[in-house]
Amino acid sequence: MSATAFSHRTVLLDEAVAALSIRPDGTYVDCTFGRGGHSRRILAALGPEGRLVAFDKDPEAIAVGEALSREDSRFSLVHNGFAAFDEELDRLGIAAVDGVLMDLGISSPQIDDGRRGFSFRFDAPLDMRMDTSRGCTAAEWLATAEEADIWEVIKTYGEERFARKIAAAIVAQRAVSPITTTRELALLVGQNVRTREPGQDPATRTFQAIRIFINRELDELRDVLPQAARRLSPGGRLAVISFHSLEDRIVKQFLREASTTDTLPSWVAVRASDMPEAPLKLAGKAVKPSEEEVRDNARARSAIMRVAERTRGAWREVAA
């Protein structure tokens, strides 16, 4: 099936691009190209001297992006995870950028294409890799991981109350026969989740947890935030769209710490104007999709965007 067979509805499209306050001659980075919704809108706002770099792991997203790069010389596409932000921008000869956008999580085509193994709605190989050209699949990991590690992943990344029971069931099952399909895993989890949240399949949290782990989603987010913020020119914007609490917690904490001025002991007599400026400042309140957008696209429901602007303050290392 072609890379364009599954559609993707870009979340917070207008709001995210507006948050970047795009300069026509600026240089911008879209850390998650997907199917190019945000990238195309950014390119539309750029002038002839502008430049956009987009990252994506997914070979099918890269196929869509390559067509765009042939059409528009201002656009550069990187087949890599955004944790390689500094490395790839160095390779492209870009020292500083005027804005960075991150639209986190999984895209609709990845969910809707049963072959990718992300969804329990299909009976498909248990893959879950965003980049199908490298790394181990979810099935391969479940076949060899220690029970304690499986429990830790499901508990931490899925916030699943029944993680211990699910991990034990996985290990018991693989001793009889390997778990190789999404349906096998979903049925096994369903048998070991005693209570269900209204409107949610019992396998939801486990599938989310394994997907996050296989793709190192939270680790890569922690890696990229300092890189992106450090590369911003004064006045440049960082906009991050999260889709679940684990992501948003990391983003919120990083932005809060990077936008807070260092504190001194109360006995030190220093005027506020003489204190070093924090490297970032928050740009408005968190933004959520409108009721109309949620009605039109249910997957937008959990989205939240946080925005910060680079100041002239010296960069200091901030852990994400």
Which residues are documented as binding site for S-adenosyl-L-methionine?
A: 36-38, 56, 82, 103, 110
CB-neighbour burial class of residue 190 (10 A; exposed 0-12, middle 13-18, buried 19+): middle
Strand order in the sheet with 232-242: 75-79, 51-56, 27-30, 97-103, 232-242, 304-310, 280-282
**For residue 45, what are the CA distances in angstroms to 16, 52, 81, 102, 243?**
13, 11, 25, 18, 26
Known binding-site residue numbers: 36-38, 56, 82, 103, 110
Q: Which residue, 175, 215, 220, 250, is CA-closest to 83?
A: 220
CB-neighbour burial class of residue 111 (10 A; exposed 0-12, middle 13-18, buried 19+): middle
Asked whether the CA dihedral 53, 220, 248, 257 is positive or negative, the reply is negative
First to last CA, the chain: 38
